[in-house]
Chain A
């Protein structure tokens, strides 16, 4: 079973290597048949996958794709976590539930927009949401509304502050994804 898995993994190695190094993927694949023992074959195959990943990481285009999809994955995870608590919050306090639904939609929409349009979309969405969160935080700091309207004013302040942090980080990530292909580093590699 282990050697079967090792060989299945090894069969993918030429495709996993960068285009100009396919022959090295094929070299690792052919070597798997010489490795003695199922455990050793599996360890060998895992090492080869690691080699492919490292070689790919030296390509700027791959790094950008990885960065982009890591951010998309992060936004989807945040959206899923928010959706898990939305129904409970909505039952307790409908306006708060609506705020969470809005956040969930914002993260999901930004994730899909980033898949479609890349760094530009991430910068646009993150800067808009950053402004929205900053405005919300300023408004909540200066508001004198009682706790009967806002379930917990401190909680909303913390939520806005957290939003500033998250969207600020996503904005920086978007700027990095936009800037890296234009940088001297990209031209040198």
Chain B
């Protein structure tokens, strides 16, 4: 059975970070620090989310000491609903497995 898209543990970490900063734009490095993911994991996730219309990205002018414009990200409204649903589903699964291991 094909895996549900964006259902990995890494995607859940990213969704968590993006939900926290849903009202503002985040940069790639901020998301790396928040999630603890490596750039080789984070950027493919961002690319897929943007391609699926769950994330919007735009260029922001440089703010010193930065010298170059930076790409910034935030969830779209669809993305926000999807992220909440994924995080909730993950929490439910975690609770169910905890109950299962306790019995």
Residues of A within 8 A of B (CB): 21, 23-24, 26-31, 33-35, 43-51, 54-55
Contact = CB atoms under 8 A, between A and B. Distances in A.
The 10 residue pairs across chains A and B that have the minimum distance between CB atoms: A47-B39, A27-B71, A47-B40, A50-B40, A30-B68, A51-B43, A31-B28, A34-B29, A47-B38, A44-B39
Contacts, number: 61
B47 A34 contact: no
Interface of B: 27-29, 32, 38-44, 46-47, 57, 66-71
A27 B28 contact: yes
Main secondary structure of the interface of B (DSSP, over half): helix
Contacts of A30: 66, 68-71
A139 B38 CA distance: 58
Contacts of A34: 27, 29, 66, 70
Contacts of A48: 39-40, 43
Given A27-B71, A35-B29, A51 B40 contact: yes
Contacts of A55: 44, 47
